[in-house]
Amino acid sequence: MIKIRAGIILIEHEEILLVRHNVSARKYHPDYDTKPTAIKDYWVFPGGGVLQGETLETCAKRETLEETSIKVEIGPLLFLGESIWPDGERHIINFFFEAKRIEGNVKKPRWTFLDEKYDEPAFLPLSKLDEIILMPDIKTYIKRLSKGETFRGTYLKNLWESYTDVETKYGVE
């Protein structure tokens, strides 16, 4: 089954809006169930799954508000990427839109779901981007975007990485 996900990229004042996921509180990643990981947390872009009958824009706005308490205006599509697990069991298509804040401040939502109640939204300085684990890892594109490069619907291909790949890449033990 293919899952469609709409997310945002919001950069203001040399900071980017992201959401920290606590690995121990999440159970949807296949590697989590088959192998323990040394990864404690990683960061993602605000966003989530598109509901039946919902537009990508509406989804991106709703998910951003739910996860960060910030209302956004959705701009152009910046990137399109996929995450396809090697066995093909999971396939996520990610749409990343430029966004601007129109109202609100970052606030941790009052989640009742186990997977999300430990998530933490935050504006992180772009200068700290190399110090975090970002999934999917599109840091190179974010840096280029923050320096004024224009992207419009750029296809980033398959961005899937296992926890093992990420542990190796970041030297996590």
> Is pLDDT at 62 greater than 80 in this prediction?
yes
> Is pLDDT at 101 greater than 60 in this prediction?
yes
CATH, range 2-170? 3.90.79.10
Measured between alpha carbons, how far apart are the two ends of the chain, in Å?
A: 33
> What is the pLDDT at residue 32?
44
Residues 6, 67: Cα–Cα separation, whole Å: 13
Q: Provide the token pair at 22.
A: 């606590």
Which distant-in-sequence residues (6+ apart) come within 8 Å of 123 by Cβ? 12, 13, 15, 16, 17, 18, 106
> What is the pLDDT at residue 84?
93
In 56-115, at which residue ranges do the beta strands (DSSP E only) sit? 71-84, 91-103
Count H helices, E strands: the chain? Answer: 4, 9
> Is pLDDT at 45 greater than 70 in this prediction?
yes
Distance of CA 168 to the CA centre of its chain: 20
Identify the residue with better confidence: 66 or 119: 66
